[in-house]
Amino acid sequence: MTNQKLTILQLYPRDMNIYGDWGNTLSLARRARKHGYDVDILDYNPGDEFPEDFDILVGGGGQDSGQSVIQDDLHRIAPVLRDKAETGTPMLVICGLYQLFGKDFTTVGGEVLRGIGLFDAHTVGGEQRLIGNIVLNSEEFGTIVGYENHSGLTYLGEGVQRLGTTVKGEGNNLDDDGEGARVHHVIGSYLHGSLLSKNPVISDYLIRHAVEKKFGHFVPAQIDDSLATKARETAATRPR
């Protein structure tokens, strides 16, 4: 143990937390502990006092109605989120919060949910739900395995970095092979299921940036990833 502590903030667990998203926070905390850090997990829900002192932010998905519930509050805390993102705080936002970290989401019903524009991306509700196991290739993280379940179709602006390229599944939309988005150390993705338990390399990315920002230097522990590897292999070969 280093006696150094990381604080993980779970954004809107009450309204934005489905398909295993909470597992991302649990996996991340466990992984950070294995690397030798103490971990605190904070929950933040609409109307709470926003804790500005956190090292990693994790947010999940939700129904369109959940996104509508948190929308105003998200805009209230947006200046702090933007500042934290621009100064290098690592963040992982999945599905519904990925959409709202973009510019806007127009639902199938025609409601426009305003996003905070951290990603130059916009989303439109589709008629079809895109559901199933999904596999990506990415330069930085290698093969990424997850599970998608959304009807929103996300389009990235010119030059916005994607998380990966889909090998199986749909990802951001039905028109190109991109999945997810990245800016600063913020990752947005449609992959639930939970993403981090199957892709420890992404946990390590978030932890490394948090540790380097807070303590200056990250020395990773040697961790046995054989169970995660099995889970990845099994999920990747399952039908959609």
What is the Cα 175 distance to its own chain's centre? 22
**Smallest separation, CB 43 to ligand GLN (Å):** 18
Question: Which residues of this protein are in contact with ligand GLN, per CB under 6 A?
Answer: 18, 61-64, 67, 95-96, 149-152
Q: Which residue is nearest to ligand GLN (CB)?
A: 61
Q: Is 83 exposed, middle or buried (0-12, 13-18, 19+ CB in 10 A)?
A: exposed
Bridge-based pairing state of the strands 178-179 and 91-94: unpaired
**Smallest separation, CB 180 to ligand GLN (Å):** 13
- Nearer Cβ to ligand GLN, position 18 or 42? 18
- Nearer Cβ to ligand GLN, position 62 or 146? 62
Q: Is 125 helix (H, G, I), strand (E, B) or coil?
A: strand
Residue 192 a catalytic site member: yes
Bridge-based pairing state of the strands 91-94 and 112-114: unpaired
Residue 184 a catalytic site member: no
- Nearer Cβ to ligand GLN, position 32 or 136? 136
Active site residue: 122, 150, 192, 209, which one? 192
Cα 182 to Cα 44: distance, rounded to the nearest angstrom: 23
Cα 89 to Cα 36: distance, rounded to the nearest angstrom: 20
**Smallest separation, CB 151 to ligand GLN (Å):** 4
* Helix, strand, coil percent values for the chain (each to nearest 5): 30, 30, 35
Indicate the DSSP class of residue 220.
P
**Smallest separation, CB 73 to ligand GLN (Å):** 17
Cα 190 to Cα 74: distance, rounded to the nearest angstrom: 19
How many residues are present in the chain? 240
Place of tokens 């500042």: 83
- Nearer Cβ to ligand GLN, position 32 or 130? 130
- Report the greatest alpha carbon distance in the chain: 51
- Nearer Cβ to ligand GLN, position 143 or 151? 151
Active site residue: 95, 122, 150, 209, which one? 95
**Smallest separation, CB 121 to ligand GLN (Å):** 13
Active site (catalytic) residues: 95, 192
